[in-house]
């Protein structure tokens, strides 16, 4: 059954009045939305997802447009289970636990045209309409002097929210950038490292042996995968988080249960002749054949884990990891 009590606001901004144009945010927002509405993913009804993309002439979204989406979600006064807030675009670091999410009309003179992650979290928690709140923020956190991020224009008559579980996942640590690059597994579509890792984790990469994704497993996977993607491009990027469990731990909060193991179809293209063996995570052979240069083998249906491939005649060895985020992958060896 769909999660009718779950809601989402998804914002992706590529173009800005003054700031450099980005290439990844809209694609990142679209990929996150795909997971949200997928019955095997977030299973959120499409009508419960407020999908806000940037435009120009005039530059949108404005803060009023984002606040109107939030107001539309809570205006019926009914209790909800979960709110997802996803933002991809430019950002500025306000302090260690607050980020300014830059609106398209942000300029050096109008440097307060960003919305505050901290104040929007405080509002959604204090509204007491949600049991769980997830903020996923794929934006820079570089510090900017004399910049103020704005709170929601919505007001709360009587803030509460003591029992709300919340997670804020930042794409980088304070005073550091978040990066984007062509996604080598999506025909070079530009993606944020953080968003690639996040969606990959939600799609099964962060699932444990029982197919469960907890807050803790999602944080760990996203941190490791983001760092790995950045390192491959000689970059450094460190995902950070804030968690309030309302008395329960990150291992006790389940984002998704019963995620089916994702099998990756792996093909090997052999560059050198010889006897080749492929070993699984238990170091048991799953392939042992004499090959010639130019030959291919596979696809092999491989589950998440560490693997090793060896050419026993040339003593070449390669270790590789299947992280459960891709449907298919090829290696040259």
Q: Tell me the pLDDT tens digit for each residue of 13-65.
A: 999 999 999 999 999 999 999 999 999 999 999 999 999 988 777 888 999 99
pLDDT (average), residues 214-221 = 96
Predicted TM-score (pTM) of the model is 0.89
Please give the pLDDT value at position 260.
79
* Model confidence band, residue 241 (pLDDT cutoffs 50, 70, 90): very high
* DSSP characters over 24-37: SHHHHHHHHHHHHH
Look at 262 and 315; give whichever has higher pLDDT: 315
Tens-place pLDDT, residues 93-148? 998 889 999 999 999 999 999 999 999 999 999 988 999 999 999 999 999 878 89
Going by pLDDT thresholds of 50, 70 and 90, the confidence category of residue 183 is confident
In which residue are the tokens 């985020």 written? Answer: 325
- Averaged pLDDT score across all residues of the chain: 92
Q: What is the pLDDT, as a whole number, of residue 160?
A: 73
Looking at the DSSP bridge assignments, the partners of residue 183 are: none
The arithmetic mean of pLDDT across residues 259-271, rounded, is 89
Cα 275 from chain centroid? 40
Classify 81 as helix, strand or coil.
Answer: strand
- Residue 266, strand partner residues: 300, 329
Q: Tokens for 201?
A: 């984790």
| 295 CB burial (10 A radius; 0-12, 13-18, 19+) | middle
- pLDDT surpasses 90 at 10: yes
pLDDT at 161 over 80: no
**SS3 label, residue 163:** coil
Q: What is the pLDDT of residue 162?
A: 75
Domains and CATH numbers, the chain: 6-256 (3.40.50.1460), 264-332 (2.60.40.10)
DSSP assignment, residue 317?
A: E
Confidence category of residue 185, pLDDT binned at 50, 70, 90: low
Residue 117 has what pLDDT? 97
Instruction: Kindly indicate the confidence band of residue 210, based on its pLDDT and cuts at 50, 70 and 90.
Output: confident
Place of tokens 């901004």: 13
């Amino acid at each position: 059954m769909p999660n009718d009590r779950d809601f989402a606001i998804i914002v992706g901004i590529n173009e800005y009045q003054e700031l450099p144009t980005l290439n990844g945010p809209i694609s990142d927002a679209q990929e996150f939305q795909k997971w949200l509405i997928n019955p095997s993913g977030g299973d959120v009804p499409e009508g419960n997802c407020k999908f806000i993309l940037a435009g120009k002439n005039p530059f949108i979204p404005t803060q009023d447009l984002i606040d109107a989406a939030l107001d539309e979600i809570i205006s019926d006064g009914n209790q909800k289970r979960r709110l997802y807030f996803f933002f991809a675009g430019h950002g500025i670091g306000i302090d260690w636990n607050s980020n300014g999410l830059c609106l398209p009309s942000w300029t050096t003179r109008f440097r307060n045209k960003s919305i505050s992650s901290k104040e929007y979290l405080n509002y959604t928690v204090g509204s007491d309409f949600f049991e769980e709140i997830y903020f996923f923020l794929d934006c820079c956190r570089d510090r900017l002097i004399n910049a103020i991020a704005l709170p929601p224009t919505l007001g709360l008559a009587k803030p509460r929210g003591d029992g709300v579980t919340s997670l804020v996942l930042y794409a980088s640590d304070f005073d550091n950038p978040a990066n984007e690059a062509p996604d080598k597994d999506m025909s070079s579509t530009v993606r944020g490292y953080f968003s690639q890792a996040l969606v990959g984790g939600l799609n099964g990469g962060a699932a444990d042996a029982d197919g469960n994704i907890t807050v803790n497993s999602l944080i760990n996977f996203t941190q490791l995968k983001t760092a790995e993607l950045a390192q491959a491009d000689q970059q450094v990027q460190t995902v950070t988080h804030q968690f309030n469990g309302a008395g329960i731990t990150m291992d006790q909060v389940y984002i998704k249960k019963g995620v089916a193991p994702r099998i990756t179809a792996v093909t090997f293209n052999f560059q050198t002749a010889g006897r080749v063996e492929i070993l699984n995570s238990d170091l048991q052979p799953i392939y042992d054949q004499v090959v010639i240069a130019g030959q291919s083998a596979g696809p092999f249906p491989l589950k998440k884990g560490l693997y090793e491939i060896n050419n026993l005649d040339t003593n070449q060895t390669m270790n590789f990891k299947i992280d459960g985020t891709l449907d298919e992958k090829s290696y040259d060896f």
